[in-house]
Structure 1
């Protein structure tokens, strides 16, 4: 989908939270600035020259986007910090809207943030285009060319997938042993589980992520989503078995539907399900450019910690994880439980 950075705070923050993209942008854009206290800083006067706009235009955006710019690195220097900064740039500051005792400055991240919202500047428009290109390049480079299975780079994915597989067997065994229905019940109640957790049937999920019929949807699901599915499946299996034993017969479909409805409204499951929805909706939009319409209300910006988790040094491909003796030891412990 098209990304209009000028109108989407979410898209802006997803880029600004990606330190790997910021490092590459700083390397390639070459916009200058003054190196102070471990980072590059820009005065408003410097940004006037970079973007080719007036000082009053910069001030306008500082007023309209103050909370966002401040959260991303716009600060006001005072006292000793201001004196030290002045010393670096020769002791003279030409700026707009400041007193001599204070000076507002943008770090590189805040400067990019301004470039993303500054509609009056042709130079900012060119920078926005470069930002989007470089972000795509960084994502492709760090995940090996595609993001469909970026979920598997999480070091917690394999143990979660193994546990979910075991709970899945408990669920299908309960359907087989205690539900009076043909083989269609496995697909029908798998969809019930998916709808409880993330409001989509399997086919809808496939379409959103563009999965082929040969691809297993669960192979693309994040750790938190798999844990939520496992919790629901385990609970349903126990409730189905208990109800059948209490009635001393197999359950009919309407009775199983009632159990599923109760699970959908279970307050004990609500926190883990809501967390799974937030993770799925936010990460799929941020990493896979995939929008889950049923979960739009749960979309948030992808936090910096998630970029570390899926793109950082600790993240590894599935093949690398499977060759790790420590990961294999975890599987052995899970199997021996």
Structure 2
């Protein structure tokens, strides 16, 4: 996966969709600009000066990346908006590069000027801004996550219920393996790996290597709620199917028979949306939050949406210790237990 900001739109969006990093960047970069309609904006000439390029270079990037820059906040002022910015900045004492006769004016907001800085390749100034961006993004995520990102998944308010439910289905599955599969004790590790591979294409050892986990670290404690739910769906379905088939045959199942069930489950159209969602969430969030690349899930990588930054870094996200100390969270777990 290419993580170069100049050539990866996913990498650029992972910066631009992070409101906490943007706030810090606006403070630390001190790019100047004009205050207009409640935000900081930059004219084309100001953008060129900030990035140490000429205006023709800015025009070229506006042409070649028009959709992306407009999505980030670049816009052309006309009519009332143009009149208002002229009233604010065009007079005898406040000289800016806005002609009183211009029929339109293109302006970058702060998000769009950062986007432009991530695109421009022929500028040392742009390169320095990109380097500063990445430093701030890393610092902000680490700070919001309490100093490390290994368990950033646990800051999601959906994590505890998902982990509790998955643990319940895990017990049903291991009991079914014990009672219904003719295989040595190593069957638990073997079929845990096979379920992991069915859901996110990696076994436990591969997953730990990607996330740089220690041997003693428990893999499921680092997984996102959506991944745990997909695993629980597999475990529950296989547990029920194993018991029914073992009872029908009047004997324990052979590994080849369970393998056939697992392959059928992996291609089940009812499970496919949950599996696809789990792969996208794991691949995208681990790259965006943990700087961890799942090679086998590379084609599932998307930019991390702004809502996920709030979900894992915002006011509603809390460390697991805080959630466990919360009476409302404990009440949810109690209801799940009493089902």
TM-score bucket of the superposed structures, by smaller chain: over 0.9
Which of 141, 144, 156 aligns to 2:143? It is 141
Which of 317, 320, 323 aligns to 2:322? It is 320
SS across alignment from 2:41 = strand
Residue in structure 2 matched with residue 111 of structure 1 by the alignment: 113
Question: 1:5-43 deviations in whole A, cap 9, x for unaligned?
Answer: 112111111000000000000011111111111111111
Compute the displacement of 1:94 (Å). Answer: 3.2
Residue in structure 2 matched with residue 38 of structure 1 by the alignment: 38
CA–CA distance in 2 between the matches of 1:12 and 1:200? 27
CA–CA distance in 1 between the matches of 2:146 and 2:106? 40
Instruction: Structure 2 unaligned segments of length 5 or more: list them.
Output: none
Pairwise CA RMSD of aligned residues?
A: 1.5
Residue in structure 2 matched with residue 335 of structure 1 by the alignment: 337
Which of 150, 153, 156 aligns to 1:151? It is 153
Compute the displacement of 1:95 (Å). Answer: 6.3
Question: 1:41-87 deviations in whole A, cap 9, x for unaligned?
Answer: 11101112212211100000001111111111111111001110111
Residue in structure 2 matched with residue 187 of structure 1 by the alignment: 189
Residue in structure 2 matched with residue 177 of structure 1 by the alignment: 179
TM-score (norm 2): 0.96
TM-score (norm 1): 0.97
CA–CA distance in 1 between the matches of 2:45 and 2:299? 40
Contact kept in structure 1, 2:86 and 2:98, CA below 8 Å: no
Does 1:309 find its partner at 2:293? no
CA–CA distance in 1 between the matches of 2:155 and 2:57? 43
Task: Give the paired residue count.
Answer: 335
CA–CA distance in 1 between the matches of 2:11 and 2:52? 24
Instruction: Structure 1 unaligned segments of length 5 or more: list them.
Output: none
Residue in structure 2 matched with residue 232 of structure 1 by the alignment: 234
Residue in structure 2 matched with residue 77 of structure 1 by the alignment: 77
Compute the displacement of 1:272 (Å). Answer: 0.6
SS across alignment from 1:200 = coil
Contact kept in structure 2, 1:45 and 1:95, CA below 8 Å: no
- Which aligned runs of 4 or more in structure 1 are off by greater than 6 angstroms? none
